[in-house]
Amino acid sequence: MADIIQLLPDHVANQIAAGEVVQRPASVVKELIENAVDAGATAVKLIIKDAGKTLIQVIDNGKGMSVTDARLSFERHATSKIRNADDLFQLNTKGFRGEALASIAAIAHVELKTKQEQDDVGTVIVIEGSNVVSQDVVVTPKGTSISVKNLFFNIPARRNFLKSNAVELRHIIDEFHRVTLVHSNISFTFFNNGSETFNLPVSNYRQRIVNIFGTKTNEKLVPVEEDTEVLKISGFVFKPEFAKKTRGEQYFFVNNRFIKSAYLNHAIVSAFEGLLKNGTHPSYFLNLEVDPQTIDINIHPTKTEIKFDDEHTLYAILRSAVKHSLGQFNIAPVLDFERDATMDTSYNLNKAGIAQAPKIEVDRSFNPFETSKDTVKQTASSSYKKQESNWEGLYVGLESKGTMSQHDFSEVQFESEETVSSLFETSEEQTQTNSTYQFHNKYIISSIKSGMLVIDQHRAHQRILYEDFLQDITVKVGVSQQLLFPLELHFSSQELEIIKQLKQDLEHTGFVFSNVTEESIEITGVPVTVPESEISIILEQLISDVQNEVPDANFSATDLLAKSMAKSLAIKTGQSLQKDEQEHIVNKLFACKEPNVSPTNRVTFITVGVDELDKKFI
């Protein structure tokens, strides 16, 4: 039989290799900026069009390349950064594989212009899908400019796989942060679709963080410094009160290289122990310096994971350094014996307060010129006194009602139906006819004519809020409550960009923005259903939902906003509910258009028929 093994042609091999290096436009941005840094640039400019799908260009004032090097730089495994395997353990450059330019050129249209200081003219090379289209002499300033157009032009599947511009841009900005944070001695500018998104002058580390994340960041920072034989730490953590619900700014750099490490993250989290609110994550910007001999950065193609020789020691040092800083800056809680005891509320009262779901009933037919009407009825709950368990609620209607084999929703009848209109009244008789029961602080059980209804409280409430918000946004009737004091919230510029996009819809839900600047927004009104303490959490959640949005045909900003707000505000699993709250949820759920599923398509309730129960007792 004839031999069948062949060597792959270079352009095919490059295309395959490209898949590892270039996953998306952000990977190109990373490689090009890193090359600029490696070339000793003091100023780097990044230009992006259409989230990198149309253009990614990086211009630097670094050392440039000779004619031969310019040509060679596109060969696979062509690098000026290492010469032998030993060099791998003495790395002080970002790149070393010599794969980036070859990979990028294999799957895009690339133009390179470069000139070294001592030369009068430079070189321009145009490459498309690994083919050199032209090479010429060019007048160009010292340094290198690489433009990458039509990424994945020859791999349609890859191109189609790209996410929406918002998502791709988010990834690009992430990469931009990761490089710019550790090189505050280099100035960076970033132009997105022609407008300047970041302008980061040469500065110290603290200023760089503030320049990227906004001036308000400054007061959040607590410095962390530690110098030991094996590890040098410098950087900042956010004060615990600024911990975020979503994993926000968490940056580790090892020898100036961004890395991810769940293990080291754990060290930080444990240093914050007792200081963070449940479900929040600390933010940090920490640079670790270790002997390059003690790490292996070669285990991941895109190099965000690294292997340490002695992780345990690093963990311990890191944890104690962060703990020490938090303590030094008086952030750890102190026992305060002089506190006025009358300020303390009793445990019971606190608990009852927390257990209250936002319950404000709004009269949509309110006419402001009619003086006699109550507009907003705050239903102060007096019902938390009545704690007797209501097992009997389970049995209501089970004994004598006929069986209904198929659970057609339209036939579902509620025992409590006649009380719908006066749901919030808590007269004695009413509590006597209880027909709901909360199970494990998770499910609401109610009896229906045909049997038993088990409702997931969190999902059900999400559905209710979702439809309410959707209605408010589309009908534009969200009712607003004015804040006593305007609330100023600070965001990074790309976060603000998202808020601006959604501003109108947010206003329809009842938000009132009085001032939107480059880095902050001022809020003077919020939807009546939103407690003031939740405002920032809701907006943070919203921003992160938009950022992580996976676009599909049905994507709409309105929908996302309604979903996100519903998710943030819905009663959580584990929250104990008063009787009236349980009934409110049951009634509101079944007044929804699609009560069967949550906004994310999860089942909200199940029914267990009397016949099913009967069978179990045979």
Sequence-ordered list of residues with C-beta below 8 angstroms from that of 241, at least 6 positions apart, any chain? none
Sequence-ordered list of residues with C-beta below 8 angstroms from that of 126, at least 6 positions apart, any chain? 109, 110, 111, 112, 132, 133, 134, 135
Distance CA 252, CA 260 (A): 7
Cβ 246 vs Cβ 541: under 8 Å: yes
39 binds, among ligand ADP, Mg ion, none (CB under 5 to 8 A by kind): ligand ADP
**Closest residue to ligand ADP: CB criterion:** 95
Q: Which of residues 118-147 bind ligand ADP (CB under 6 A)?
A: 144
What the block records as the tokens of 123 is: 């070189």
The binder of ligand ADP chosen from 28, 39, 295, 538 (CB under 6 A): 39
Nearest alpha carbon to residue 142 among 119, 125, 161, 159: 119
Distance CA 547, CA 446 (A): 39
Q: Which helix (H) or strand (E) holds 200?
A: strand 195-200
Nearer to Mg ion, 74 or 284 (CB): 74
What the block records as the tokens of 572 is: 């959580």
Nearer to Mg ion, 38 or 226 (CB): 38
Span from 45-53, 56-64, 383-391, 494-502 in contact with ligand ADP (CB under 6 A): 56-64
Residue 150 sits at φ, ψ, to 5 deg, of: 50, 50
Cβ 443 vs Cβ 449: under 8 Å: no
79 binds, among ligand ADP, Mg ion, none (CB under 5 to 8 A by kind): ligand ADP
Q: How far is the CB of 82 from ligand ADP (least distance, A)?
A: 8
Residue 188 touches ligand ADP, criterion: CB under 6 A: no
Q: Which helix (H) or strand (E) holds 367?
A: none
The binder of ligand ADP chosen from 80, 207, 234, 379 (CB under 6 A): 80
Cβ 18 vs Cβ 133: under 8 Å: no
In the numeric block, the tokens 């004032």 are attached to 61
Q: How far is the CB of 35 from ligand ADP (least distance, A)?
A: 3
Q: Which of residues 56-95 bind Mg ion (CB under 5 A)?
A: 95
Residue 35 touches ligand ADP, criterion: CB under 6 A: yes
Q: How far is the CB of 182 from Mg ion (least distance, A)?
A: 16
Q: How far is the CB of 19 from Mg ion (least distance, A)?
A: 17
The binder of ligand ADP chosen from 27, 30, 31, 258 (CB under 6 A): 31
Cβ 96 vs Cβ 82: under 8 Å: yes
359 binds, among ligand ADP, Mg ion, none (CB under 5 to 8 A by kind): none
Nearer to ligand ADP, 65 or 445 (CB): 65
Residue 105 touches ligand ADP, criterion: CB under 6 A: no
Span from 77-85, 189-197, 309-317, 495-503 in contact with ligand ADP (CB under 6 A): 77-85
129 binds, among Mg ion, ligand ADP, none (CB under 5 to 8 A by kind): none
Distance CA 535, CA 463 (A): 20
Residue 59 touches ligand ADP, criterion: CB under 6 A: no
Q: How far is the CB of 308 from ligand ADP (least distance, A)?
A: 22
Nearer to Mg ion, 27 or 541 (CB): 27
Nearer to ligand ADP, 112 or 530 (CB): 112
Residue 538 touches ligand ADP, criterion: CB under 6 A: no
Side chain identity at residue 552, one-letter code: D
What the block records as the tokens of 129 is: 């899908």
The binder of Mg ion chosen from 37, 70, 100, 473 (CB under 5 A): 100
Sequence-ordered list of residues with C-beta below 8 angstroms from that of 83, at least 6 positions apart, any chain? none
Distance CA 287, CA 503 (A): 37
Q: What is the DSSP string of 262-284?
A: HHHHHHHHHHTTTTSPTT-B--E
Side chain identity at residue 294, one-letter code: T
60 binds, among ligand ADP, Mg ion, none (CB under 5 to 8 A by kind): ligand ADP
In the numeric block, the tokens 């809680």 are attached to 333
319 binds, among ligand ADP, Mg ion, none (CB under 5 to 8 A by kind): none
Q: How far is the CB of 142 from ligand ADP (least distance, A)?
A: 10
Residue 233, classed as helix, strand or coil, is: strand
Nearer to Mg ion, 58 or 569 (CB): 58
What the block records as the tokens of 55 is: 């253009």
The binder of ligand ADP chosen from 18, 46, 51, 96 (CB under 6 A): 96
321 binds, among ligand ADP, Mg ion, none (CB under 5 to 8 A by kind): none
Nearest alpha carbon to residue 58 among 88, 82, 81, 35: 35
The binder of ligand ADP chosen from 95, 248, 527, 595 (CB under 6 A): 95
CA angle 126–169–252, rounded 5-degree value = 100
Q: How many of the chain's residues bind ligand ADP (CB under 6 A)?
A: 23
Distance CA 296, CA 305 (A): 9
Distance CA 186, CA 413 (A): 69
Span from 74-82, 181-189, 342-350, 545-553 in contact with ligand ADP (CB under 6 A): 74-82
Nearer to Mg ion, 302 or 382 (CB): 302
Nearer to Mg ion, 38 or 468 (CB): 38
Nearer to ligand ADP, 62 or 527 (CB): 62
Residue 35 touches Mg ion, criterion: CB under 5 A: yes
Q: How many of the chain's residues bind Mg ion (CB under 5 A)?
A: 3
Sequence-ordered list of residues with C-beta below 8 angstroms from that of 497, at least 6 positions apart, any chain? none
Q: Measuring CA to CA, how many Å separate 585 from each of 289, 407, 455? A: 55, 20, 9
Q: Which of residues 223-252 bind Mg ion (CB under 5 A)?
A: none
Distance CA 119, CA 122 (A): 7
Distance CA 424, CA 441 (A): 21
Span from 89-97, 305-313, 425-433, 435-443 in contact with ligand ADP (CB under 6 A): 89-97
The binder of ligand ADP chosen from 71, 81, 359, 449 (CB under 6 A): 81
Sequence-ordered list of residues with C-beta below 8 angstroms from that of 607, at least 6 positions apart, any chain? 407, 412, 448, 450, 451, 452, 453, 454
19 binds, among ligand ADP, Mg ion, none (CB under 5 to 8 A by kind): none
Nearer to ligand ADP, 36 or 455 (CB): 36
Nearest alpha carbon to residue 114 among 142, 94, 88: 142
The binder of ligand ADP chosen from 17, 29, 48, 101 (CB under 6 A): 101
Which residues form the interface with ligand ADP (CB under 6 A)? 31, 35-36, 39, 60, 62-65, 73, 78-81, 95-102, 144
Residues that bind Mg ion (CB under 5 A): 35, 95, 100
